[in-house]
Amino acid sequence: MLPRLLLLALLLPLAPLRAQEPERISDIIYTKHDGVALTMDVFKPANPNGAAVIKIISGGWNSNHKGISDGGWPRHGYTTFVVVHGTQPRFHIDEIILDLQRAVRFIRANAERFGIDPQKIGVTGSSAGGHLSLMLATRVSPGDPKAADPIDRVSSEINAVACFYPPVDFLNWAAEGDSKQGVGPLTTRAPAFGPVVETAEGRERAGHDLSPLSWINAKQPPVYIVQGDADQLVPHSQALRFLAKSNEVGAKAEVLIRAGAGHGGWVEMTDDTARMADWFNLHLLGKKPATPFQFASSTLPSTPVPKKAPASQPK
């Protein structure tokens, strides 16, 4: 058995590490409807910088509490709001967007309570979470000053986005007009869109209204996208078209393409997240990064993740 003093000496270095762990506030209800309560978890950093990052938990427009993590954002000083939304097919994408707008309003209305600046809110997500991040960016819902609920009186505006491999155009998935041939989520994820996609006219309307590309505008917040060019779920041409149209209207955007990377899981994702923190630092806090952003597209190689050998084979 170790002497008491030696045991204390070994444990003391762990104390500062524990002190740096963010404070977690779980299951804060941001809205209730249809017999459900939708929640978010808040992670408050030890040394907050006064800005917020909203992390959307969504894959295939499914969301659950098992996916909650702070994403490392509190280490960068960001008070982090991890939002769970209603899952498809019970809730359709248009309804999910409204709930996420409500989440933004809730955070902005309670900015003082959470110790953040209501005009310094960034949003992040991956895949469907990235799509929803871009919908928040491009389709702002202004507050209703006459609303009975004070939360509904504030805007759903966000101030910056940094996301991974988001769908941006449902009508033109891998090629122009290919949704009419059954290509892309309008067909493969039809339940997420609801009964509207059961007719050709409805698919066209939903494909337009729920595509961030349709709503790109000069006033949208700065957007940073990271995408792999070997992604078999979301073609990397989606990100490039978002960038091209943003440049066309004079909106700030940048795209990083990871050569050889698929739909997540590449080795450099930690580096890419750190670069996203640079993006938020620049646009929310006014801190210039050591490596300036180019507001264009660039390509970096990725290191493939080694595949594990089957259990029946020798390693």
The pLDDT of residue 73: 97
The pLDDT of residue 304: 74
Task: Give the distance, in angstroms, between the CA of residue 297 and the centroid of all CA atoms in the same chain.
Answer: 19
| 122, 52 Cβ separation under 8 angstroms | yes
For residue 164, what are its two tokens?
């991974």
Q: What is the pLDDT of residues 36-71, one digit of tens each?
A: 999 999 999 999 999 999 999 999 999 999 989 999
**How far, in Å, CA of 270 to CA of 276, rounded?**
10
The pLDDT of residue 14: 45
For residue 136, what are its two tokens?
């928040």
| 193, 98 Cβ separation under 8 angstroms | no
Question: Which residue has 């006014």 as its token pair?
Answer: 286
| 68, 57 Cβ separation under 8 angstroms | yes
**How far, in Å, CA of 252 to CA of 28, rounded?**
33
The pLDDT of residue 306: 62
Three-class DSSP labels, 220-252: CCCEEEEEECCCCCCCCHHHHHHHHHHHHHCCC
Residues 6 or more apart whose Cβ sits within 8 Å of residue 265: 305
SS3 at position 28: strand
- For the chain, list the strands marked E by DSSP: 23-33, 36-44, 52-57, 79-84, 121-124, 160-164, 223-228, 253-259, 297-301
The pLDDT of residue 17: 45
Question: Which residue has 């590449």 as its token pair?
Answer: 266
Q: Identify the segments of the chain with pLDDT beneath 70.
A: 1-19, 305-315
Structural domains in the chain, sorted by start: 20-169+211-301 (3.40.50.1820)
The pLDDT of residue 307: 57
Q: Which amino acid is at 282?
A: L
Task: Give the distance, in angstroms, between the CA of residue 38 and the centroid of all CA atoms in the same chain.
Answer: 17
Burial class of 307 by CB neighbour count within 10 A (0 to 12, 13 to 18, 19+): exposed
Q: Which amino acid is at 296?
A: A
**How far, in Å, CA of 266 to CA of 302, rounded?**
7
200-209 and 93-109 helices, crossing angle to 10°? 20
The pLDDT of residue 200: 96
Question: Is the entire prediction scored with pTM above 0.85?
Answer: yes
The pLDDT of residue 89: 96
